[in-house]
């Protein structure tokens, strides 16, 4: 998973961390392991400040996984942000 995160942070030419993601976000993504849908408010408050987040929903029931990712996907779409799937049940959300 770490390699996929590094690939997202790098530019397409394989240079240093100066790609389109990194030019807007000089801080590392905050990682969340939600245990219920109630924790979505914490995640959206971080995204709202234009800070990148990584959300790992692998420990949740399938129904709750879909609910959280669907909600965050709609939220990030409304902010004109981006969602990257890093691995199964692990996503990165960020706003430029």
- Residue 72 contacts residue 52 (beta carbons within 8 Å): no
Count of beta carbons in the 10 Å neighbourhood of residue 50: 13
Domain count, the chain: 1
Say what the pLDDT of residue 18 is. 47
Say what the pLDDT of residue 3 is. 65
Domain region containing 64: 2-94
Say how far residue 16 (Cα) sits from the centre of its chain: 21
Pairing status of strand 53-56 against strand 30-32: parallel
Burial of 94 (0-12, 13-18, 19+ CB in 10 A): buried
Secondary structure (3-state) at 81 = coil
pLDDT band, residue 85 (cuts 50/70/90): very high
Q: Average pLDDT of 5-28?
A: 54
Q: Average pLDDT of 29-38?
A: 95
Say what the pLDDT of residue 15 is. 46
Assigned token pair, 23: 């030019």
Count of beta carbons in the 10 Å neighbourhood of residue 57: 22
CATH of the domain at 86: 3.30.110.150
59-70 pLDDT, tens digit per residue, is 999 999 999 999
Say what the pLDDT of residue 23 is. 44
Say what the pLDDT of residue 26 is. 72
């Amino acid at each position: 998973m770490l390699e996929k995160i590094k690939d997202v942070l790098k530019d397409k030419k394989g240079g240093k961390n100066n790609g389109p993601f990194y030019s807007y976000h000089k801080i590392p993504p905050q990682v969340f392991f939600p245990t219920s849908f109630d924790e979505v408010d914490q995640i959206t408050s971080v995204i709202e400040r234009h800070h990148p987040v990584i959300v790992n929903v692998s420990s949740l029931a399938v129904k709750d996984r879909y609910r959280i990712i669907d909600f965050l996907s709609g939220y990030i779409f409304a902010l004109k942000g981006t969602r990257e799937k890093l691995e199964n049940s692990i996503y990165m959300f960020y706003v430029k």
